[in-house]
Amino acid sequence: MASNGFKQAPHKLLVIPGPIEFSDEVLYANATPGTSHVSPAFVPVFGDCLRMLKTVLYAEKGEGNQAMLIAGSGTLGWDSVGANLIERGDDALVLNTGYFGDSFADCLETYGAKVTQVKAAIGGIPSDDQLVEALKSKKFKVVTITHVDTSTGVLSPAAHFCDLIKKHSPDTLIVLDAVCSVASEEIRFDDWGLDVVVSATQKGLGTPPGLSVCMLSGRAVKTFETRKTPAQSYYIGWHKWLPIMRAYEAGKPMYFATPPVQLVYALHASLTAITKSSPSLEERFAKHKAASKFVKDSLASLGCDFVPLSRDIAANGMTAVKYPRGLQATDVLPKLAERDIVVAGGLHKAIASEYFRVGHMGITVVDEQRGDITKVVDGIKQVVGGH
């Protein structure tokens, strides 16, 4: 959709690891006039979003795959997994690479899961031996992987972990928390054998916050359908939402709870840009890698260290970077803000004061003409280099 001449107000450059900068087209779509959620105009827009999500996640082949869009934030995806796949007493394995692993575990316990956590050292990932040993210790109903833990900037080798899980525990459902990786890191839902991807709109998908994004495999749906006890939620129950998503995809309206119509239009604009225009999806991922390398190389040349213990497990959509030479948050973040650059402080409790986080996702990376990446790197050089 064209932005019809609409231009968003001047503002500081938002380069936290989500929410990110939004394009004028996406924000203009978010200003769609009042439209019925069951109108012939809206139904195909919703259906297209579900189909385009399958494209972004390479989930077009798997029989019974179902995308879901439900009003809520990324956290609602955890509840979706807990309420629909966990029955009281089920064992769940959480591969923990930071704050968001702790929270996912907490959420699953809320639904009665017995959670085992494989915790990596800060900045690291669980070793193969740790994972295999855990998988051999009991029969887990689900295993969760945080693809990018936004608190540490660690990128888990999801494809490799999926291989190990398939080999040692083929019946275990694999859940990927991709809130901070969808559309900035490659995710191959079908090829990796994923069962659930949970995400949200405000990061790589370049759309204002407010929609929980999920992809379910046929196997996840079947596991839900053969539960012994009813799902532990009304609003997030898949028995409520599966018929709705299937109906919209088939071009028919159906009501359970009102979707955020305008936000769905905004997501449609962003997904259209991501899946149907230049750069291609593959080029988009390559651009995120290149931008990440440029940011990390530039920061390293200032003497900065990173939270991830090595480059091969560092996210491409964000950088978690330590303050150099005894500097702290108050020396850096306000000075960047004075230069109209908004980055985020540390989040992992154990090291929160030692590092800050820079997001490089979406149009900030893909639309090079904006000059966002240069602005951020130059800003950090001035602030950090000036000390």
Ligand X SMILES: Cc1ncc(COP(=O)(O)O)c(C=O)c1O
User: What is the contact surface with ligand X in residues (CB under 6 A)?
Assistant: 18, 73-75, 100, 146, 149-150, 177, 179-180, 200
- Beta strand pairing call for 196-200 and 211-216: antiparallel
**Rounded alpha-carbon distances, angstroms, from residue 156 to 137, 150, 159:** 22, 11, 9
Q: How far is the CB of 315 from ligand X (least distance, A)?
A: 10
Q: How far is the CB of 20 from ligand X (least distance, A)?
A: 11
118-122 — which CB contacts under 8 Å span 24+ positions?
118/93, 118/94, 120/95, 120/96, 120/154, 121/309, 122/98, 122/152, 122/307, 122/348, 122/350, 122/351
Closest CB to ligand X among residues 197, 384: 197
Closest CB to ligand X among residues 42, 241: 241
Q: How far is the CB of 361 from ligand X (least distance, A)?
A: 11
Cβ atoms of 196 and 182 closer than 8 Å: no
Q: What is the spatial distance between Cα 147 and Cα 289, in angstroms, rounded to a whole number?
A: 15
Q: How far is the CB of 75 from ligand X (least distance, A)?
A: 3
* Identity of residue 58: Y
Closest CB to ligand X among residues 79, 249: 79
Cβ atoms of 57 and 182 closer than 8 Å: yes
Length of the chain: 387
Q: How far is the CB of 374 from ligand X (least distance, A)?
A: 26
Q: How far is the CB of 277 from ligand X (least distance, A)?
A: 26
Q: What is the gyration radius of the CA atoms in the chain, in angstroms?
A: 21
Q: How far is the CB of 53 from ligand X (least distance, A)?
A: 16
Closest CB to ligand X among residues 62, 348: 348
**What contacts 50, CB < 8 A, 6 or more positions away?**
67, 68, 69, 245, 248, 249
> 3-state DSSP helix/strand/coil percent for the chain, to nearest 5?
45, 15, 40
Structure tokens at 176: 């990927």
Nearest residue to ligand X on Cβ basis: 74
Closest CB to ligand X among residues 96, 169: 96
Q: What is the spatial distance between Cα 235 and Cα 281, in angstroms, rounded to a whole number?
A: 33
Task: Tell me if 227 is assigned to a ligand binding site.
Answer: no
**What contacts 7, CB < 8 A, 6 or more positions away?**
24
Closest CB to ligand X among residues 103, 116: 103
Closest CB to ligand X among residues 179, 307: 179
Annotated binding site: 357
Q: Binding site for substrate: which residues?
A: 357
